[in-house]
Chain A
Amino acid sequence: EPEVTQTPSHQVTQMGQEVILRCVPISNHLYFYWYRQILGQKVEFLVSFYNNEISEKSEIFDDQFSVERPDGSNFTLKIRSTKLEDSAMYFCASGRQGGDGNQPQHFGDGTRLSIL
C-alpha cells in the first residue's frame, strides 16, 4: 500500500536557525497538508496546498512558515528563525479528494523537531 514518507525522522536545531521538513505524498493525491502536534497536545492543522498554491492556513502558519512543492513528488515545510515553541511533531498528509470531499487523508510518521 502506498504511503506518505517524511524525512528526517528527527531534527535538532538551534533556536534562530531555519529548518526544512520534507515529505513525499502519495503519488496520485492532489491535496497536501501539514499538521503539528506539540507533546501531549492535539494534532493541529497548519496549512493545505492544492494546485501549487496554499488553499488554507491556520493562525499558527504565520510569516515564519512557508511551503513548497518544488517538483512533482516532494512537499516541504520551511520554518525560519525557529523558536523554542516550534518544538513538536510535524506531520505531512495527503488526500485524493476526487469529487467527494469525504476522502480519508493519509499521514506520514512525522518529523520530531527539537529546538535547543
Chain B
Amino acid sequence: LAKTTQPISMDSYEGQEVNITCSHNNIATNDYITWYQQFPSQGPRFIIQGYKTKVTNEVASLFIPADRKSSTLSLPRVSLSDTAVYYCLVGLSGSARQLTFGSGTQLTVLP
C-alpha cells in the first residue's frame, strides 16, 4: 500500500481556488488515486478518483503527472461549506479492498 504525504492544514478564502497536493512516491502500477472529504461528525465522502492525467467532475479536478508520484486535488472557488478534512488514498489493501486513511488535510475556508 503506497504511503501518502499531504499537508496537515491549509487556509483559504472564499472564492479562491484551492490546490491540495499529495505525494505518493511508491505508487504501484495498478493503483488508483482517490480523494475523500470528511465534514465533522459525518462519514468520509468520495470526491474524485483518477489513474493518470486529469479527471474533472462537478465538484473538483484531479491532476496526475506522468510519473504518478504525486497528485493535486483542485477545488474551484471554494466556499465556507468546503471547510473539511480531505484525504488522499492510493491503492487499496486486502482482498476486500478496505481503505487506509491517513491524517488528511484540514482545509479551512475563511470569509
| A residues lining the B interface (CB < 8 Å) | 4, 31, 33, 35, 42-45, 48-50, 55-56, 89, 91, 93, 95, 97, 101-110, 112
| Pick from B31, B46, B102: contact of A105, CB under 8 Å | B46
The interface residues of chain A lying within 8 Å CB-to-CB of B42 are 109-110
Q: Are B46 and A108 in contact (CB under 8 A)?
A: no
Contact A104 B46 (CB under 8 A): yes
Q: Which chain B residue shows the least CB distance to A105?
A: B99
| Nearest B residue to A101, CB-CB | B97
Chain A residues with CB under 8 A of B87: 43
Give A91 to B87 CA distance when docked, in angstroms: 16
In the complex the two chains form, is A104's CB within 8 Å of B96's CB? no
Cα-based distance from A56 to B94 in the complex (angstroms) = 7
Inter-chain CA distance A101–B103, complex, in Å, is 23
Given contacts A48-B94, A56-B96, contact A104 B43 (CB under 8 A): no
Bits for B51-95, please: 1 = Cβ < 8 Å to A, else 0.
000000000000000000000000000000000000100001011
Q: Which residues of B contact A (CB under 8 A)?
A: 31-32, 34, 38, 41-46, 49, 87, 92, 94-103
Which DSSP category, helix, strand, loop or mixed, fits chain B's interface? loop
Q: Can you name the residue of chain B whose Cβ is closest to the Cβ of A31?
A: B96
Query: Which chain B residues lie closer than 8 Å to A89 at the CB level?
Result: 41
Q: A104-B34, A104-B46 are in contact. Are A56 and B98 (CB under 8 A)?
A: yes
User: CA–CA, A31 to B99, complex, Å?
Assistant: 12
Of the residues A31, A42, A43, A109, contact of B97 by C-beta under 8 Å: A31
Q: Establish whether residues A50 and B96, one from each chain, have CB atoms under 8 Å apart when the complex forms.
A: yes
B1 to chain A, nearest CB (A): 11
In the bound complex, CA of A43 to CA of B101 (Å): 6
Interchain CA distance A28-B45 in the complex, whole Å: 18
Q: Which residues of chain A are within 8 angstroms of B103 by Cβ–Cβ distance?
A: 42
Given the interface pairs A42-B101, A56-B96, A101-B97, the reply to whether A106 lies near B41 with Cβ below 8 Å is no
